Structure 1
Amino acid sequence: MKKLLLTAALLISSAASAVTLDDVQQRFAAQQVVRAAFQQERQISGMAQPLHSSGEVLIAKSKGLWWQQQHPFPMTLILDDSHMVQVMGSQAPQIITADSNPQMFQFNHLLRALFQADRKVLDENFTSEFTDLGKGQWQLVLTPTTTPLDKLFSTITLQGEKFLNRIELNDKQGDFTEITFSKHRPEPGKLTREEQQRFVF
């Protein structure tokens, strides 16, 4: 009898602590600013060696996404509600708007939704399979249902805990991209003056 009660208590405790997609969305929604380092590895079909890149990323709920690749060459990408800006080294910025490239902008919108686990956007574009991996860790496998995403990707897999730790992209060409995030820094909770300037262009 004691053994049965103990087993029941453990099951109840496990169920109570299970992570859900709603939990993840609420957690991410509460994060006003997150800074992190990233490592990216891309395996291209037909190439023997994968391509590696690394740098820093800044996700600001009020501003957008700032992505700065530092290696193997400098490149900065800025995504906000109305613009996508790419800067290669010392070249002049390339600015894309929703009017000039709506397909690219749809992907921009999706990318921000991934980082923020925006349930509405994810439900509109994917079927999802959420798994509680235990100890607060989780995995979300997204299968595209809308065009052009379903023509580009087979699946997009997100993994994390308190923060987004990993993104895996399986595309229709047989290529595979893995992006891992580390050194997450949610403080200070507001953008510094220098960080605010990154979104001015």
Structure 2
Amino acid sequence: MIKILIAGFVLLTGSVQAVTLDELQLRFSQEPVVRADFTQQRQIKGMVKPLTSNGQMLIAQDKGLWWHQVAPFPLTMVLDETRMVQVMNGQAPQIVTAETNPQMFQFNHLLRALFQADRQVLEQNFTVAFTSLPEEQWRLVLIPKTSPLDKLFNDITLRGGTFLDGIELNDRQGDVTRITLSNQRLTPRTLSDDEKQRFVF
């Protein structure tokens, strides 16, 4: 679940010209709404074939994250400032709040920092290695140095250009999760009525 949340909140946005971490931080915080498709492959240690899922993602700075897995089974998750809601296969929503699971919402603060490329918060929690690549591409490698992240992950790598294009999470169990993001869209810059309802539970 934590991997899904991280994956969702590190959907970086904005046009990249001068590829520096400070530039990314500035640009990523300026887009109010980001929509994208995702494909996730999780290679579990000891398994020959990876587990694959796909769906859509929506991030609104004033609402939170909406993560909707379509296949191999329907799964919807919403994370905002005060709660996490999960709906699986049309069942009743499961709601977790900051009061019932405070550790979850320590992650919430960190995940927003990832989404905005907040350099100060990132450097408090990770050893950060940012590399500017040819043709306005970039790579950001995060090695956790605070608990509980350092108990879960060896490293998290983000790569992209105009948008974040890929996320790789290497966990302590030897599993690797790779998420490919595509069809990123910044317009319209406000949510439709239908999109607003996705955050209502």
Which TM-score applies when normalising by structure 2? 0.88
Name 2:197's counterpart in structure 1. Answer: 197
Name 1:8's counterpart in structure 2. Answer: none
State the distance in 1 between where 2:109 and 2:191 align.
21
Name 1:107's counterpart in structure 2. Answer: 107
User: Is contact 1:154–1:170 with CA below 8 Å preserved after alignment?
Assistant: yes
State the distance in 1 between where 2:30 and 2:18 align.
19
User: Is contact 1:65–1:112 with CA below 8 Å preserved after alignment?
Assistant: no
Structure 2 residue ranges without an equivalent (≥5): 1-16
The DSSP-based 3-state class of the residue aligned with 1:22 is helix
Aligned AA (1:73): F
Aligned-residue offset at 1:117: 1.9
Aligned AA (1:32): P
Q: How does 1:5-154 map to 2 (within 5 A)?
A: 18-154=18-154
Name 1:11's counterpart in structure 2. Answer: none
Deviations 1:59-103 (A, max 9, x none): 111111100000000000111011111110110111111221122
State the distance in 2 between where 1:18 and 1:113 align.
20
Deviations 1:23-63 (A, max 9, x none): 11111111110100000000011111100000000011111
Which TM-score applies when normalising by structure 1? 0.88
State the identity as a percent: 63
State the distance in 1 between where 2:118 and 2:157 align.
15
Q: Identify the structure with bigger relative contact order (alpha carbons < 8 Å, sequence gap 6+).
A: 2
Closer, same or farther: CA 160–71 of 1 in aligned 2, 3 Å: same
User: Is contact 1:28–1:163 with CA below 8 Å preserved after alignment?
Assistant: no
State the distance in 2 between where 1:87 and 1:110 align.
23
Deviations 1:120-157 (A, max 9, x none): 33122111000001211111000111100000000001
User: Is contact 1:139–1:158 with CA below 8 Å preserved after alignment?
Assistant: yes
Name 1:160's counterpart in structure 2. Answer: 160
State the distance in 1 between where 2:120 and 2:83 align.
21
Aligned-residue offset at 1:18: 4.7
CA RMSD of aligned residues (A): 1.3
The DSSP-based 3-state class of the residue aligned with 1:142 is strand
The DSSP-based 3-state class of the residue aligned with 2:103 is helix
Aligned-residue offset at 1:165: 1.3
The DSSP-based 3-state class of the residue aligned with 1:105 is helix
Q: 27-36 or 94-103, which moves further after superposition?
A: 94-103
State the distance in 1 between where 2:85 and 2:126 align.
26
The DSSP-based 3-state class of the residue aligned with 1:147 is coil
State the distance in 1 between where 2:75 and 2:121 align.
27
State the distance in 1 between where 2:105 and 2:86 align.
13
Aligned AA (1:80): D
Structure number with the higher helix fraction is 1
